[in-house]
């Protein structure tokens, strides 16, 4: 079986790019193949993916080169199995195969609904902010800004993380944080994000590396530990709630377990901030 050439043409469609990137992440032994043959490139060969998915190598080549853009749901699921995709990445592959409509780029400035703005600013014991579709902070309460200087209106969180790296000292596991952030970007197929992605790919090696993986994972809830310079370690849960689905606005809320050290520190900080 001949090795693939590293000079293969770049993928012309989102589906083709996704298939190529995810194929490179699967080791032969992961799918029951021997890895004894010398490989010039990481991952599975195209013909191996095709055979495991039960399709012809010629058809799979057309998918990777963008000549066929809409595989059937059965083929998409078979490819997802071979590529060992989790539920989020599988759903993303299905959407790419269907030709999911792209969200139009907005022309007007983003505006947070007034009830949501009042809610965020009224919370004195809970850090909260609203981010726009391109990860700009649109509104934040004083407690959120006290957690991180990045959580203030006008800051683009992607640039803060990948260009300035302002939040890096706050996190124990920086790699997990930035990997999750990049994976969340692919959930919305928004052409208006392209200029920012191009800028980050140019300025950040970490972003280039993680973007090339084509990981897909929405971040709706979880836990994190912040290493606050004044308060020390803070153990927090967070939730992300959709404000305006079509606009991509998200309300982010942090909270601590009741009665915990972190809850007491946040309450005291909230009182001092007024």
Structural domains of the chain sorted by starting position, each given as residue range(s) with its CATH number in brackets: 14-98 (1.10.260.40), 114-273 (3.30.450.180)
Q: Residues 21-42: what's their mean pLDDT?
A: 79
pLDDT tens for each residue of 150-186: 999 999 999 999 999 989 999 988 999 999 999 988 8
Quote the pLDDT of residue 135.
93
Quote the pLDDT of residue 29.
84
pLDDT tens for each residue of 105-153: 555 678 999 999 999 999 888 999 999 988 999 999 999 999 999 999 9
Quote the pLDDT of residue 30.
82
pLDDT classification of 12: cutoffs 50, 70, 90: low
pLDDT tens for each residue of 59-86: 999 999 988 888 998 999 999 999 999 8
Quote the pLDDT of residue 178.
95
Q: pLDDT above 90 covers what percent of the chain?
A: 57
Q: How far is CA 243 from the centre of its chain?
A: 18
Alpha-carbon span 192 to 169, nearest angstrom: 30
Q: pLDDT above 70 covers what percent of the chain?
A: 90
Alpha-carbon span 215 to 173, nearest angstrom: 18
Quote the pLDDT of residue 206.
96
21 vs 108 pLDDT, higher one: 21
């Amino acid at each position: 079986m001949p090795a693939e050439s590293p000079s293969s043409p770049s993928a012309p469609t989102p589906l083709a790019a996704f298939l190529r990137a995810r194929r490179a992440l699967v080791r032969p032994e992961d799918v029951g193949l021997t890895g004894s043959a010398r490989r010039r490139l990481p991952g599975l060969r195209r013909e191996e993916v095709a055979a495991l998915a039960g399709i012809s190598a010629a058809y799979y080549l057309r998918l990777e080169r963008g000549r066929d853009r809409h595989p059937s749901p059965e083929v998409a699921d078979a490819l997802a199995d071979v590529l060992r995709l989790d539920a989020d990445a599988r759903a993303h592959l299905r959407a790419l195969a269907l030709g999911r409509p792209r969200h139009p780029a907005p022309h007007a400035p983003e505006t947070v609904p007034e009830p949501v703005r009042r809610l965020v600013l009224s919370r004195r014991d809970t850090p909260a902010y609203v981010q726009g579709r391109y990860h700009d902070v649109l509104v934040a309460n004083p407690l959120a800004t006290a957690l991180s200087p990045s959580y203030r209106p006008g800051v683009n969180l992607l640039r803060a993380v990948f260009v300035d790296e302002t939040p890096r000292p706050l996190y124990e596991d920086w790699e997990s944080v930035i990997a999750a952030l990049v994976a969340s970007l692919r959930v919305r197929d928004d052409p208006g994000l392209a200029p920012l992605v191009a800028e980050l790919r140019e300025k950040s090696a970490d972003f280039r590396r993680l973007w090339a993986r084509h990981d897909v994972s929405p971040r709706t809830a979880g836990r994190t530990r912040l290493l606050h310079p004044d308060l020390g370690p803070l153990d927090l849960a967070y939730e992300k709630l959709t404000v305006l689905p079509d606009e991509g606005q998200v309300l982010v809320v942090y909270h601590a377990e009741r009665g915990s050290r972190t809850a007491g520190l946040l309450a005291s900080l909230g009182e001092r901030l007024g």
